[in-house]
Amino acid sequence: MRSLVLCLLTVVAFGSCLKLPSSFKKCDRKRTDFNQCLSDAIYGALKILDKPLPSHGLPSLYDIEFPDEVATIGNRTYGLLQTYYRPRCIGLSKPENINAKLEFGPLTSTLTIEATYSQLTVETGFEAQGTIVLLPVNVVTPFEYTLVNPTYTFTFELEEYEKGTTYFRVIDSKLDMQAHGLKLDYKQLFSNKILNDEFNSAMNVKWREIFALSKSIDEDVFAPLFGTIVNGFLKRVPVADLFDG
C-alpha cells in the first residue's frame, strides 16, 4: 500500500511513474556484454513497435508519418521547384540486425544504433513547377522511394537531469543513411503512362547520383524527428528502470 501511495504521489508531483514494459529487456551497464545486451534489447523493442505504445510515448515504427514535415529543392525560374511533404517511413520496426552501443560520460552520454534492413520505403506527397528539358511541369503526385539493403545509423547525445529521480533527454541527434540500391517511383508525374514509366526507369539508372544528392536532405529532416521520438520515451522512464548497475 505504501508503494502505491508513493507512486500516486510521484505521478501528481512529477507526471510519471512508468517502468519498462515486461517485454523490454533490461541490461546491466557494468557487464562486459552490455552493448550486446543493449543491441538485443533494442532489436526486440523495435519488433514490438509494429504497434504504438502510447503509454510510453512511442508510435508504431512500422508505418510512421510526419505530417508537418516539408522539404523544398530547386526553383522554378531556372529549372524545377520540387516540394516533398508529409513523409511516411515504412518498415523501421523490421530490422535485419541491430548493433548498438552506449558510451556513458561524466556530462553527456552517446547512444549509437546501427540498424540494417532488407528494404525501407518512404512515401511522400510531391509537387513540382517548372520545366524538364523544355517540357513544362505543373503537377501534384504521390512519390515513393525504396532503399535496398539500407543501414541507418542513429546517434543520440544524451544528458541526465533530475525530476524526483534521474532521467535522460536527447540534446542532439544525427542520422547517417547508406544503401545498396534505390528505387524511385513518381506515380503520376506525367499523364502519359509510357513517358512516366520511362522517366522513372531513367531516374533509377542514376540512383547513386540521386541518393548522393538527397542523402543529406533526408538525414537533416529525419534526425531531429527521431530524436523527438526517443525523447518522448526517455522522459517517461527513469534511468534506473532502463539499466541495472
31-90: pLDDT as tens digits = 999 999 999 999 999 999 999 998 888 999 999 999 888 988 888 777 889 999 999 999
Hunting for cell 525560374 — which residue is that?
Answer: 77
pTM, to two decimals: 0.86
* 232, 57 contact by CB (below 8 A): yes
pLDDT in tens, 167-210: 999 999 999 999 999 999 999 988 899 999 999 999 999 999 99
Q: What Cα–Cα distance (Å) separates residue 182 from each residue in 65, 107, 109, 139?
A: 20, 40, 34, 23
The rounded distance, in Å, linking the Cα atoms of 64 and 116 is 18
- Res 6 pLDDT > 60: no
pLDDT at 11: 37
Q: Can you count the helices (H) and strands (E) in the chain?
A: 5, 12
- Of 20-29, 122-131, 147-156, 190-199, the poorest mean pLDDT is in 20-29
| 45 DSSP 8-state letter | H
pLDDT at 20: 67
Q: What Cα–Cα distance (Å) separates residue 17 from each residue in 152, 164, 233?
A: 32, 10, 13
pLDDT in tens, 112-132: 999 999 999 999 999 998 887
pLDDT at 99: 98
